Amino acid sequence: MPSAHHSEHHYIHRTGWLRASVLGANDGIISVTSLIMGLAASGASSQTLLITCVAGLISGAVSMAAGEYISVKSQEDIEKADLAMEHKALKHQPEAELKELTQIYITRGLSPELAHDVAVQLTAHDALAAHARDEIGIHDNTAAKPVQAAISSALAFSSGALLPMLAILLSSEHNIEAAVAIVGVLSLVLLGALSSYAAGTSVLKGSLRVTLWGIAAMLFSSWIGSFFNTAPI
């Protein structure tokens, strides 16, 4: 006997924190690993590499948090301005707003009569919410949350940047560059797989996409760093 309750678990509600987390972790792994590989190729000591890694983690996490907050806060300000404008229009021109909402539903495929009935009922229930969702495109699942985005980015960047630090601490001085590179690649493979799984997309494609771009950045940084290696051949 089929269940009386049918519920689907969609992925769109994860958009805000998932985007910030993946971006932060990816940036933490790639930027710090690339930085360490570039310095290692230049002949820097293990102590220098560790200090650089710590500095990169701190500055990167703070930068990511600040940048994400400012960016998402700007989006939130725009949403608030649009909602204030819509609230004013609903107060002073309710009939025009009702017609506008009706036309939206007609455009989406409802008959004029049904569209009008739906618009009337939704307006009576919560007019501003109806216009925010169907006219402006503001949804609870995708609404801007600057503090959440900033914290997610900072924590994710720190988590990603900790991996090359651990590679430095746990490897011998002669194998630091190789250890950091291996840990970096494996971390990107795992990050791509986890983020794709959380988003409900292809794990293989997501993992390959993240890993290949990361490897390219690491190789380029190592190549540039090798120009500054003054060690005797």
- pLDDT value, residue 230: 60
| Confidence band, pLDDT 50/70/90 cuts, at residue 1 | very low
By the 8 A CB rule, do 148 and 59 touch?
A: no
CA nearest 176: which of 228, 230, 225?
225
CA nearest 119: which of 137, 131, 132, 107?
131
**Can you tell me the distance from the alpha carbon of 115 to that of 124, in angstroms, rounded to the nearest whole number?**
14
**Can you tell me the distance from the alpha carbon of 58 to that of 56, in angstroms, rounded to the nearest whole number?**
6
CA nearest 222: which of 28, 9, 44, 8?
44
- pLDDT value, residue 200: 73
Mean pLDDT of 74-91: 89
Determine what percent of the chain is predicted with pLDDT higher than 90: 33
Residues ≥6 apart with Cβ < 8 Å to 104: 115, 119, 134, 135
Mean pLDDT of 7-35: 70
By the 8 A CB rule, do 112 and 67 touch?
A: no
Among 27-31, 96-100, 118-122, 171-175, the minimum mean pLDDT is found in 171-175
- pLDDT value, residue 5: 52
| Confidence band, pLDDT 50/70/90 cuts, at residue 202 | confident
Residues ≥6 apart with Cβ < 8 Å to 154: 24, 61, 62, 64, 65, 68
The encoded tokens of residue 161 equal 């940047």
Task: Specify the higher pLDDT residue, 148 or 93.
Answer: 93
| Confidence band, pLDDT 50/70/90 cuts, at residue 210 | confident
DSSP 133: I
CA of 38: how far to CAs of 7, 60, 115, 176, in Å? 50, 17, 61, 12
Mean pLDDT of 57-62: 93
194 pLDDT more than 60: yes
- pLDDT value, residue 10: 47
- pLDDT value, residue 4: 52
| Confidence band, pLDDT 50/70/90 cuts, at residue 136 | confident
Handedness of CA 141, 142, 147, 150 (dihedral sign): positive
| Confidence band, pLDDT 50/70/90 cuts, at residue 12 | very low
Mean pLDDT of 201-216: 85
Residues ≥6 apart with Cβ < 8 Å to 208: 192
Helix (H, G, I), strand (E, B) or coil at 205: helix
Mean pLDDT of 157-164: 92
- pLDDT value, residue 141: 63
By the 8 A CB rule, do 28 and 159 touch?
A: yes
